Every structure is written in C-alpha cells, then in structure tokens.
Amino acid sequence: MIRKATAAMAAILLASTSLAACAHNPDEVEADYVPPLTYASMSCDELQQELIRISDEVHKVTGQQREKARNDKLAVGAAIIFWPTLFALASGDKENKLAHLKGEYDALVVNAKNKKCSYANELKTS
C-alpha cells in the first residue's frame, strides 16, 4: 500500500514539474522590446513591406509554437506511463524567436504611426 502511494506521489511530482518545462501557447508569449529607432530611417513603403514580412514570419512561428505546446502537453500525459517521453520536451520551442518577432512588429507599428503612414490606423501592436 505504501509502495503504491509513493509511486502515485512520484507520478504526480513528475507530471507537475514537467508541466513547467512545457512550451507556452503563442498567445502567452510576450513581445521582446525592440527599439523603434531600429526602423526609424525607413519610409512608409519600406515599413509596410517589412510589416508584411514580419507578419508572415510571426504567423509561421506561431503555428510551430502552437504545435510544440500541444505536443508537450501530450508528452507530459504520456510521461506518467512512460517517463522517457519527457525527452521530447527538450527541443523545438520557438518562444524566444516568437517573442523577438513580436517585438520587431511592435517597433514597426510604432514607426508607422509616428510617421502617420496611410495604413497606420489599421495596425495594432502584438
């Protein structure tokens, strides 16, 4: 009886500590600060082209991060039965890249609004 309780407690501890290592959902990833000065010399047209490029990349990396977060949750569930699945948590997280891209996007939006670009009113920061 004590052995079963100990095994159950170990499984609960393993699952709870593993959850902390899971990749975050993309909506939970905060933007890194990127100085707006980085893009201050760009024209409205250049800012718009860069906004399109960054938006496409954000969309791609968001999908990758969402998939990683989903897979991590599945791996943690499987780890209760077969602990080696925890090694799947070790790679593929795109959180840092996504945070930086969101920061770049925000810096571009700030510049477009400061320059009063025709499309700026439609933009929202991440």
Q: What is the pLDDT along the chain (126 residues), one digit of tens a residue?
A: 566 655 545 444 444 444 455 778 888 899 999 999 999 999 999 999 999 999 999 999 999 999 988 877 776 665 555 555 555 555 567 899 999 999 999 999 999 999 999 999 999 988
The residue among 59, 70, 62 whose CA lies nearest residue 22 is 70
Give me the domain span that covers residue 49: 2-122
Q: What is the pLDDT of residue 111?
A: 97
Q: What is the pLDDT of residue 88?
A: 52
The residue among 21, 28, 25 whose CA lies nearest residue 90 is 21
Q: Residue 55: CB partners within 8 Å, gap ≥ 6?
A: 105
Q: What is the pLDDT of residue 6?
A: 58
> How far is it between the farthest Cα atoms of the chain?
72
Q: What is the pLDDT of residue 36?
A: 97
Q: How many domains does the chain have?
A: 1
Q: What is the pLDDT of residue 91?
A: 57
Q: What is the pLDDT of residue 68?
A: 86
Q: What is the pLDDT of residue 13?
A: 47
Q: What is the pLDDT of residue 31?
A: 96
What is the C-alpha to C-alpha distance for residues 105 and 112, in angstroms, rounded to an integer?
11
Q: What is the pLDDT of residue 83?
A: 53
Q: What is the pLDDT of residue 38?
A: 96
CB 119 within 8 A of CB 48: yes
